[in-house]
């Protein structure tokens, strides 16, 4: 049987198609930038766009099921072969998946000119194809413990379907069940996958530095309780966002996951931002639970709290994963350059500004500041990582 390395060596096409993450990480970064520009255009009223959705619904959808789905795909197309020992998706199949993803973005952007059902089917086809590919690979590789990851992607897909259904029925979906369902699935993916890679990469960095510290193991009762509370909190919040029980469960889940995070020695990694940012991303996921819980008790603003998850946890953790994975697979040193560190600072600043927009009298200036920092972060990512992702991988350096 042809090995993974042999299959990758035999590929003679564009370097961006040699590994699944290359094209999808680039597409994600570019779309994060362009979608924010379009959102600013919508907010300012500078030019009408042929979008059937209200501006907030389109903005939320394209962040969650446009940008985030591309990052998830790039990560999983690269991770699943490592989990299963099977060959990766390489070459034109990657381009085919990316074309389906792009068709969804075009359909959403031109939805004012297209039938709503057609827009939904085109948009949903991407994640449906991804679920089929991942299920086939994991079942064939008998990597049963990773079926839960595919299950969460399936929940993510279901949330998108509900989002479209809500829009077709009600004309808006920005505050509906589908968005909460999809957002909740994404946060759980961060807790599951981030809960693996954050302590693992931290441990590897400590070993490489010759330091004695080690993060706590991630398979103990603390982890089980933290994840169990998160699942319960997300479930109740998605169905009953204003219920007292949902708020209490979110607070408990947030505190439990902050405690889980504290056991991974993130405060000892400040000399390497490439590692620290993983802890920041996970911490923002936990703080998102706390913020949503407090808002549910009347001690905050719900939309601002939700953005701690969306701008904070999701954007920060995905940037953390993309920047690290791209360096590692390109054979480059695993250290953050000043430019990459600036990308991290900008996205954390965007999170803070977006939160302050909802809880202070300075809504307008904070919204514009958040958007500007977002553009700086993702513009910086694309500028720095374009040559890394688009060129042939180097031999790994010892």
Residue 181 counted as domain residue: no
Q: What is the pTM of this model?
A: 0.91
Considering the domain architecture, whether residues 164 and 231 belong to the same structural domain is answered as no
Residue 53 counted as domain residue: yes
- State the pLDDT at residue 392: 66
pLDDT band per the 50, 70, 90 thresholds, residue 11: low
Considering the domain architecture, whether residues 85 and 168 belong to the same structural domain is answered as yes
Rama region for 85: left / alpha / beta (φ>0; ψ in -120 to 50; rest): left
Tell me the pLDDT tens digit for each residue of 330-351: 888 999 999 999 999 999 999 9
Helices (H), the chain: 4-10, 20-44, 55-61, 68-84, 92-109, 116-140, 147-170, 177-209, 221-239, 244-262, 273-296, 302-307, 315-329, 338-359, 363-390
Which of 91-95, 228-232, 261-265, 268-272 has the weakest average pLDDT? 91-95
Considering the domain architecture, whether residues 113 and 211 belong to the same structural domain is answered as no
The count of structural domains within the chain is: 2
Q: Output the six-digit token pair for 242.
A: 């204003």
Which of 23-37, 195-209, 239-253, 312-326 has the weakest average pLDDT? 195-209
- State the pLDDT at residue 179: 93
Tell me the pLDDT tens digit for each residue of 19-67: 788 999 999 999 999 999 999 888 877 777 888 888 899 999 999 999 9
- Point out the domain boundary residue: 115, 150, 175: 175
DSSP string, 284-335: HHHHHHHHHHHHHTTSS-HHHHHHIIIIIIIHHHHHHHHHHHHHHHTT--S-
Q: Among candidates 210, 218, 208, 190, which has minimal Cα distance to 278?
A: 190
Range of the domain at 333: 188-398
Considering the domain architecture, whether residues 135 and 206 belong to the same structural domain is answered as no
Considering the domain architecture, whether residues 170 and 199 belong to the same structural domain is answered as no
Q: Output the six-digit token pair for 378.
A: 């993702």
Residue 278 counted as domain residue: yes
- State the pLDDT at residue 7: 52
Phi, psi of 53, rounded to the nearest 5 degrees: -75, 150
* CA gap 44, 105 in Å, rounded: 21
Considering the domain architecture, whether residues 256 and 388 belong to the same structural domain is answered as yes
Q: How far is CA 156 from CA 55, 82, 125, 344, in A?
A: 21, 23, 13, 26
Tell me the pLDDT tens digit for each residue of 258-276: 999 999 988 899 999 999 9
Residue 45 counted as domain residue: yes
- Point out the domain boundary residue: 132, 149, 175: 175
Considering the domain architecture, whether residues 202 and 312 belong to the same structural domain is answered as yes
- Point out the domain boundary residue: 129, 154, 175: 175
Residue 183 counted as domain residue: no
pLDDT at 82 over 50: yes
Residue 180 counted as domain residue: no
Considering the domain architecture, whether residues 103 and 197 belong to the same structural domain is answered as no
Considering the domain architecture, whether residues 50 and 155 belong to the same structural domain is answered as yes
Which of 55-59, 114-118, 205-209 has the weakest average pLDDT? 205-209
Q: What is the mean pLDDT of the chain?
A: 89
Residue 371 counted as domain residue: yes
SS3 235: helix
How many other CB atoms are there within 10 angstroms of residue 76's CB atom? 26
Considering the domain architecture, whether residues 209 and 163 belong to the same structural domain is answered as no
Residue 101 counted as domain residue: yes
Considering the domain architecture, whether residues 296 and 381 belong to the same structural domain is answered as yes
Considering the domain architecture, whether residues 164 and 125 belong to the same structural domain is answered as yes
């Amino acid at each position: 049987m042809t090995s993974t390395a042999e299959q990758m060596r035999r590929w003679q096409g564009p370097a961006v198609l040699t590994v699944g993450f290359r094209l999808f990480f680039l597409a994600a970064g570019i779309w994060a930038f362009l979608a924010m520009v379009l959102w600013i255009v919508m907010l300012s009223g500078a030019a009408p766009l042929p979008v059937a959705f209200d501006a907030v619904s389109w903005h939320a959808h394209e962040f969650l099921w446009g940008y985030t789905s591309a990052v998830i795909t790039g990560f999983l197309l690269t991770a699943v072969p490592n989990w299963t020992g099977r060959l990766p998706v390489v070459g034109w199949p990657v381009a085919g998946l990316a074309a389906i993803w792009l068709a969804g973005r075009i359909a959403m952007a031109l939805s004012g000119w297209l039938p709503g059902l057609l827009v939904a089917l085109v948009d949903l086809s991407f994640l449906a194809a991804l679920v089929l590919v991942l299920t086939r690979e994991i079942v064939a590789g008998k990597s049963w413990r990773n079926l839960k990851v595919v299950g969460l992607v399936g929940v993510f897909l279901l949330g998108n379907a509900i989002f479209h259904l809500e829009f077709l029925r009600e004309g808006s979906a920005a505050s509906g069940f589908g968005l909460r369902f999809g957002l909740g699935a994404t946060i759980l993916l961060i807790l599951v996958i981030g809960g693996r890679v954050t302590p693992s990469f931290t441990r590897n960095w400590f070993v490489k530095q010759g330091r004695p510290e080690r993060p706590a193991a991630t398979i103990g009762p603390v982890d089980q309780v933290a994840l169990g509370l998160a699942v319960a909190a997300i479930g109740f919040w998605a169905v009953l966002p204003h219920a007292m029980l949902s708020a209490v469960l979110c607070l408990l889940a947030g505190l439990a996951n902050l405690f889980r995070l504290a056991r991974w020695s993130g405060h000892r990694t400040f000399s390497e931002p490439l590692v620290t940012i993983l802890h920041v991303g996970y911490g923002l996921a936990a703080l998102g639970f706390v913020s949503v819980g407090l808002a549910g008790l009347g001690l905050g603003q719900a939309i601002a709290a939700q953005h701690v998850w969306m701008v904070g946890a999701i954007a920060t953790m995905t940037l953390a994963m993309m920047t690290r994975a791209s360096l590692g697979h390109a054979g480059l040193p695993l250290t953050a350059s000043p430019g990459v560190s600036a990308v991290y600072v900008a996205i954390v600043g965007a999170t803070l500004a977006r939160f302050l927009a909802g809880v202070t009298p300075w809504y307008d200036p904070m919204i514009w500041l958040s958007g500007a920092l977002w553009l700086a972060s993702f513009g910086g990512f694309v500028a720095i990582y374009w040559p890394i992702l688009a060129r042939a991988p180097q031999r790994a350096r010892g």
